[in-house]
Amino acid sequence: MANKVTIYIENQPYQVDAGLTILEAAKSCGYHIPSLCNWRDHECSLASCRVCLVKVEGARGLVPSCAYEVADGMKISIADQKATDARRTSVELLLSNHSFNCQSCKKNGKCELLNVARDVGARPDKYMGEKTETTLDFLTPAIVRDTSKCILCGRCIEACKKAQGIGILGFENRGFSTIVAPTQNRSFSKVPCIQCGQCTLVCPTGALMEHNNIDELDAAFRAGKHVVCFAAPAVRSAIAEEFGCKIGTNGTKRLAAALRRVGFEKVFDMNFSADLTIMEEAHEFIERFSKGGKMPMITSCSPGWINFIELYFPELLPHVSTCKSPQQMFGAILKSYYAEKMGWDKKDIYVVSFIPCTAKKYEVQREQFVDKDGIRDVDLALTTRELGDLVRRAGIIWNRLPEEEFDHDIVGENTGAGVIFGVTGGVMEAAVRTAYNMLTGEEMEPIDLLPVRGFEAVREATLDIKGTKVRIAVTSGMINARKLLEQIKDGTSQYDFIEVMGCPGGCINGGGQPYVFPSMLPNEDPDIWYTYRAKRAAVLYEEDKNKPLRRSHLNPDIKKLYEDYLGEPGSELAEELLHTSYNAKREQYPDVD
Amino acid sequence: MHIRPEARKTVLEIVDRYKDEPSPLMLILSDCQKEFGYIPLEVQEVISEATGVPTAEIYGVVTFYNFFTLEPKGKYVIGVCTGTACYVKGSQNVSDKIGELLKIKPGETTKDGLFSLDNVRCLGACGIAPAVSINGKVYPKVQLSQVDKILDEYRKKEEA
């Protein structure tokens, strides 16, 4: 139990935990102090935006409440006239260097800057004058950076450095010329950025956003192709949030209905190819494990993670499974097996994936995923946020959609094992369910692998598969993955099989998921920032629990795919369609000039 | 990364010098600036690798402080005082004139590497405003008409 202190806000006494900042303490007393740079409460070290100023009796001048700890007997005023004016001026000054194309800004309606500006009563044209020179970087397929909208809060810098342990972004130059940018104000494509998009999740404005590709989808519809799509597991855990539903709402059935109404010819569930990934990955693991291959083996589903290991630890690439990600596997199967069954020419198929991820936009363009005829496995990857835009644009009212199923022909069946791919630990759990069967011919009981669930930095377990000990570890976020990679490098790694996901918490917290800005979610709990990942994860675990089939190898469509087409896991055709290679020669800072 | 192995070794030695400092970045950068005359990206990358500080953060520090430069300085560094007294006496025009003649802006270096131009804060010589210093030598009460002659002094030195 933390020590309590008494503080006074507008002369009302409150008991609060000692050690809190004024901002946090005020929140626990039912106040909301507007702020922009603060996003991780106590861990936030910036105090750069100067929006959260309050009056503290006895202090010299106004104090930034995000960086000032409460003390016993402290008298605080938020409504103080000077503080109110100062907060308004701070925001007005930020607005004076901001580009006002709000109507066309994709952040419109989700912009914290506008929200705060309204709260403090800022007048946008109060200060007008010269503006800092703008950089617009849209060279990467994943993320767009527009400095004309940046307010220099530094949240993205913190997210990249502290959450991912990478630190691509920093403050550059001084005074009026200051910008937030990668080294030398380079494009994200010319620095070792893994394109995970975690920076886009924290940007309060439209300065960092996903690279919007809806126009390309429109072109495909116009071209009269067979436009088919599939949606990743994590999308269902969050898409309803785009339409005002509470975090933790399952959107699976409305998602299927919405995609159909947007105009896709076929709407599939990516769980199918997650099941397929498990068949190949479990097979690969058993091969390596029993025949002395490169160990530990590491999963390969997350394209942000693949970027990370290619850029920072290329010498460890032989540890990574050669399996393509579920997204790429689905594309490859749709343009081969499925096309044959349907009597379609693969050139006429346009495959769209809906994913919670910005790095997947990069992944679809990788040269490894273009076949000898110049055809990509997947043509377009759109994030959960873009899907929200697409649905709104089509005039669809989410809450009045009927509940429908994804298409169930040829590549439609899927299992609970596929669903949990969307959360950290899920791939491992699904792989173990199937590997157990491949090794012993029996089913693992109980089916749930509880030690790998949760959000601790590294979760580990030793499995006893009929006397064979298999040591597994699960992690997410690059700051944690780096530690496991260092162990492998030193030769001190204790594991046989490691799951790594690029984003902290896995795909449910992917860089393309709906924003979670607590100040703009009045109907959520005050601690939503700490609980939203668990709430989204619960959606997936619940769906897994309720599926009639929960093991990938029991999926009838997968069985049929192997019987009719691929042969068996690891066959020559499976190698060609479902496995890939990596690039160990990516330069961190390719010379631009 | 295209850094000479000897230069890389030097950087690592400098980093090692400050390994017990709680925040060694400024000290490392300061020594690198003195050692190489500038701190190119290649050097920043080595520092990042050795200290774990992200390159973007190092680049931010280098671009924040005037003392650090990303490009090599010229042989002759011209400092035009833009402190209050010199400014009032027209030092901005002097700076503009030098820039025009050398075809560079303040902070830049001529292509032949001979001159760098900086607008500096008070040189502490307000009595002789506007003051210009070139590699430490101070020129008092500089008139626009003198500028070309002063530059010629150094050009001739090179030719000789």
Cα–Cα distance for residue pair A336/A573, rounded to 1 Å: 11
Question: What is the token pair recorded at A368?
Answer: 């490894």
What order do you get walking across the sheet with A349-355 strand by strand? A266-269, A226-231, A349-355, A380-383
Q: A486 contacts in B (CB within 8 Å)?
A: none
Among A590, A462, A538, smallest CA distance to A186 is for A590
Cα–Cα distance for residue pair A152/A45, rounded to 1 Å: 14
Across the range A330-352, mean pLDDT stands at 95
Say how far residue A374 (Cα) sits from the centre of its chain.
29
Across the range A456-481, mean pLDDT stands at 93
What pTM did the predictor assign? 0.90
User: B68 to chain A: nearest residue by CA?
Assistant: A173
pLDDT digits (tens, 9 = 90+) for A267-281: 999 999 999 999 999
Across the range B62-70, mean pLDDT stands at 89
Say how far residue A488 (Cα) sits from the centre of its chain.
26
Q: Cis bond leading into A296, ω under 30°?
A: yes
Sign of CA dihedral A361, A367, A371, A372: positive
pLDDT digits (tens, 9 = 90+) for A136-162: 999 999 999 999 999 999 999 999 998
Cα–Cα distance for residue pair A221/A215, rounded to 1 Å: 10
Q: What is the pLDDT of residue B73?
A: 86
Mean pLDDT of chain A: 94
Q: Report CA-CA distances (Å) from B104 to A89, B74, B99, B116, B137.
A: 38, 12, 5, 8, 21
> Residue B95 carries which DSSP code?
H
pLDDT at B1 over 70: no
- DSSP codes, A367-395: GGGB-TTS-BS-SEEEEHHHHHHHHHHTT
- DSSP codes, A503-559: STTSGGG-TTSPP--GGG-TTS-TTHHHHHHHHHHHHHHHHHHH-S---GGG-HHHH
Say how far residue A427 (Cα) sits from the centre of its chain.
16
Query: With contact defined as beta carbons under 8 Å apart, do A417 and A551 qualify?
Result: yes
Question: What is the token pair recorded at A115?
Answer: 């929200």
Across the range A185-203, mean pLDDT stands at 95
| Phi, psi of A155, rounded to the nearest 5 degrees | -60, -40
Cα–Cα distance for residue pair A157/A167, rounded to 1 Å: 7
H or E segment at A143?
strand A143-146
Cα–Cα distance for residue pair A436/A421, rounded to 1 Å: 18
CA distance A419 to chain B (A): 36
A170/B60 touch (CB, cutoff 8 Å), yes or no:
yes
pLDDT at A593 over 70: no
The vertex-A296 CA angle with A488 and A567, nearest 5°, equals 150
User: A587 to chain B: nearest residue by CA?
Assistant: B1
Q: What is the pLDDT of residue B37?
A: 86
- Which of A179, A183, A186, A482 to probe the B interface (max B CBs under 10 A)? A183
Cα–Cα distance for residue pair A486/A440, rounded to 1 Å: 33
B1/A171 touch (CB, cutoff 8 Å), yes or no:
no
Q: Which of B45, B53, B59 sits opposite A172 (nearest CB)?
A: B59
Interface of A with B (CB under 8 A): 157, 161, 166-174, 181-184, 191, 587-589, 591
- What lies within 8 Å, CB to CB, of A329 at 6+ separation is A273, A276, A277, A280, A323, A377, A577, A578
Across the range A558-569, mean pLDDT stands at 95
Cα–Cα distance for residue pair A305/A311, rounded to 1 Å: 10
pLDDT band at A42 (very low <50, low <70, confident <90, very high): low
Task: Name the β-bridge partners of A226.
Answer: A349
Burial environment of residue B36 by CB neighbours within 10 A (0 to 12, 13 to 18, 19 or more): middle
pLDDT at A469 over 80: yes
Q: A181 contacts in B (CB within 8 Å)?
A: 56
pLDDT digits (tens, 9 = 90+) for A487-504: 999 999 999 999 999 999
pLDDT at A514 over 90: yes
CA distance B62 to chain A (A): 8
Cα–Cα distance for residue pair A467/A563, rounded to 1 Å: 31
A-B interface: how many C-beta pairs under 8 angstroms?
46
Highest mean pLDDT among A127-136, A326-335, A464-473: A326-335
Question: What is the token pair recorded at B102?
Answer: 């050398």
Percentage of chain A beyond pLDDT 90 is: 89
Interface predicted TM-score of the whole assembly (ipTM), two decimals: 0.85
Q: B56 contacts in A (CB within 8 Å)?
A: 157, 167-170, 172, 181-183, 191
pLDDT at A111 over 70: yes
Q: B55 contacts in A (CB within 8 Å)?
A: 167, 183, 191, 589
pLDDT at A1 over 60: no
The vertex-A345 CA angle with A340 and A351, nearest 5°, equals 90
Cα–Cα distance for residue pair A79/A10, rounded to 1 Å: 7
Interface of B with A (CB under 8 A): 1-2, 41, 44-45, 53-57, 59-60, 63-64
Among A147, A126, A129, smallest CA distance to A205 is for A147
Q: B41 contacts in A (CB within 8 Å)?
A: 183-184, 589
pLDDT at A414 over 80: yes
Question: What is the token pair recorded at A335?
Answer: 């343009």
Cα–Cα distance for residue pair A332/A580, rounded to 1 Å: 12
The vertex-A138 CA angle with A137 and A141, nearest 5°, equals 135
Buried-state track A202-217, b at ≥16 Cβ within 10 A, e below 16 = bbbbbbbbbbbbeeeb
Query: With contact defined as beta carbons under 8 Å apart, do A297 and A318 qualify?
Result: no
A170/B1 touch (CB, cutoff 8 Å), yes or no:
no
Task: Name the β-bridge partners of A351.
Answer: A228
- What lies within 8 Å, CB to CB, of A373 at 6+ separation is A346, A347
User: How many Cβ atoms sit within 10 Å of the Cβ of residue A345?
Assistant: 10
Query: With contact defined as beta carbons under 8 Å apart, do A522 and A244 qualify?
Result: no
CA distance A199 to chain B (A): 15
Say how far residue B32 (Cα) sits from the centre of its chain.
13
B41/A166 touch (CB, cutoff 8 Å), yes or no:
no
pLDDT band at A44 (very low <50, low <70, confident <90, very high): low
pLDDT digits (tens, 9 = 90+) for A11-20: 999 999 999 9
Query: With contact defined as beta carbons under 8 Å apart, do B112 and B104 qualify?
Result: no
Q: What is the pLDDT of residue B158?
A: 84
A589/B41 touch (CB, cutoff 8 Å), yes or no:
yes
Burial environment of residue A479 by CB neighbours within 10 A (0 to 12, 13 to 18, 19 or more): middle
Q: Report CA-CA distances (Å) from A353 to A184, A377, A411.
A: 34, 11, 15
